[in-house]
Amino acid sequence: METIPSFIDFEASSLGSASYPIEVAWNLSDGSIESCLISPAGTSRWTDWSYKAERIHGIARAQLLAEGRTPSWVCQRLNEQLAGQTVYSDAPDYDGMWLAELFSVCRGEVPGFQLDSVDRLLLDIISPHLSDRAAGLAKIEEFKAEARKRVSQQHRAAWDVQFLVELWRLANG
Look at residue 43 and tell me if it is in a domain. Answer: yes
**pTM listed for this prediction:** 0.92
Look at residue 140 and tell me if it is in a domain. Answer: yes
CB distance 59 to 158 below 8 Å: no
Crossing angle for the helix pair 157-172 and 118-126, nearest 10 degrees?
10
Is 131 a residue whose pLDDT tops 80?
Answer: no
Number of domains in the chain: 1
Distance CA 43, CA 132 (A): 47
- Give the pLDDT score at 104: 95
pLDDT digits (tens, 9 = 90+) for 137-163: 888 888 888 888 888 777 899 999 999
Which residues span the domain enclosing 90? 6-172
Look at residue 1 and tell me if it is in a domain. Answer: no
Distance CA 109, CA 105 (A): 9
Mean pLDDT in residue range 107-120: 93
Look at residue 112 and tell me if it is in a domain. Answer: yes
Is 1 a residue whose pLDDT tops 70?
Answer: no
Q: Which of 7-16, 108-117, 144-153 has the lowest mean pLDDT?
A: 144-153
Look at residue 44 and tell me if it is in a domain. Answer: yes
Distance CA 31, CA 161 (A): 9
pLDDT digits (tens, 9 = 90+) for 30-87: 989 999 999 999 888 999 999 999 999 999 999 999 999 999 999 999 999 999 999 9
Distance CA 8, CA 95 (A): 8
Look at residue 148 and tell me if it is in a domain. Answer: yes
CB distance 65 to 73 below 8 Å: no
- Give the pLDDT score at 148: 86
Closest to 13 (Cα-Cα) out of 80, 75, 68: 68
Look at residue 60 and tell me if it is in a domain. Answer: yes
The pLDDT mean for the chain works out to 92
Question: Residue 67 is part of a domain; what is its CATH number?
Answer: 3.30.420.10
Look at residue 123 and tell me if it is in a domain. Answer: yes
